[in-house]
């Protein structure tokens, strides 16, 4: 029983970093307000070149954690974007009502990037299947007889033939 607990604990510690490795990394560079426009700059890190991603952005405030504003009219490297090296730019055309809510200097943008799944089975499904298969084999191979003495039968041995 202890070997099963140790096996699943080790399996858990192996799987958690693998799940985090699948997340897309983004480097937020900054923004520049202009005449009715805001230019937002970011860079995609550790992505496969040519892979498509869904990019969105939220405006947040440091002093008011519940404040979130999603740009209504944005263009540039937003929506479906192919991963290429270099800095990406989003142009947000602000409306007068949006400009009125932008009073202060504690704003920042939070880019959100998610990979658009392609057809076929991703490699991590194969890894997960191998882990589950290995765990099932381990449980079935070690789950049977514990090697102790067999239980005594209540019946005596049959008599020999004459």
Read off the pLDDT of residues 93-110 as tens digits, 9 standing for 90 and up.
988 877 777 777 888 888
pLDDT digits (tens, 9 = 90+) for 61-93: 888 889 888 888 889 989 988 888 888 899 989
CATH number for the domain harbouring residue 92: 2.60.40
In a domain, 106, yes or no: yes
| Domain encompassing residue 105 | 25-115
* β-sheet with 87-93: strand ranges across: 25-33, 37-45, 87-93, 74-76
Q: How many other CB atoms sit within 10 Å of the CB of residue 90?
A: 23
Structurally, the chain folds into a number of domains equal to 1
In a domain, 144, yes or no: no
What is the distance between the alpha carbons of residues 123 and 43, in angstroms, rounded to a whole number? 25
**Exposed, middle or buried, 84 (CB in 10 Å: 0-12/13-18/19+)?**
exposed
Q: What is the pLDDT of residues 106-152, one digit of tens each?
A: 888 888 888 887 766 667 788 888 899 888 888 777 765 555 566 66
Contact 73, 95 (CB under 8 A): yes
Residue 10: inside a domain, yes or no? no
Residue 160, pLDDT score: 81
Domain-embedded: residue 71: yes
Domain membership of residue 131 (yes or no) is no
Residue range 28-56: mean pLDDT, rounded: 84
Three state DSSP letters for the chain: CHHHHHHHHHHHHHHHHHHHHCCCEEEEEEEEECCCEEEEEEEEECCCCCCEEEEEEEEEECCCCCCEECCCCEEECCEEEECCCCEEEEEEECCHHHHHCCCCCCEEEEEEEEECCCCCCCHHHHHHHHHHHHHHHHHHHHCCCCCCCCCCCCCCCCCCCC
- Asked whether residue 125 is domain-assigned, the answer is no
Q: Is residue 38 part of a domain?
A: yes
24 phi/psi in degrees, rounded to 5: -80, 135
Query: Is the distance from CB of 32 to CB of 42 less than 8 angstroms?
Result: no
Does residue 31 form part of some domain? yes
Which residue, 89, 74, 79, is CA-closest to 43?
89
């Amino acid at each position: 029983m202890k070997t099963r607990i140790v096996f699943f604990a080790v399996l858990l510690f192996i799987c958690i970093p693998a799940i985090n490795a699948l997340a897309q990394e983004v480097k937020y560079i900054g923004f520049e307000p202009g005449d009715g426009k805001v230019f937002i700059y970011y860079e995609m890190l550790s992505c496969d070149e040519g892979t498509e991603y869904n990019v969105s952005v939220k405006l947040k405030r440091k002093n008011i954690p519940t404040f979130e504003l999603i740009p209504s009219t944005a263009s540039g490297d937003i929506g479906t974007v192919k991963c290429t090296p270099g800095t990406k730019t989003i142009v947000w055309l602000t409306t007068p009502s949006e400009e009125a809510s932008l009073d202060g200097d504690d704003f920042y943008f939070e880019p959100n990037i998610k990979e658009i799944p392609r057809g076929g089975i991703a490699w991590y499904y194969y890894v997960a299947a191998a882990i589950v298969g290995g765990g099932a084999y381990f449980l079935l191979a070690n789950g049977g007889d514990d090697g102790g003495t067999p239980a005594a039968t209540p019946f005596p041995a049959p008599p020999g033939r004459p």
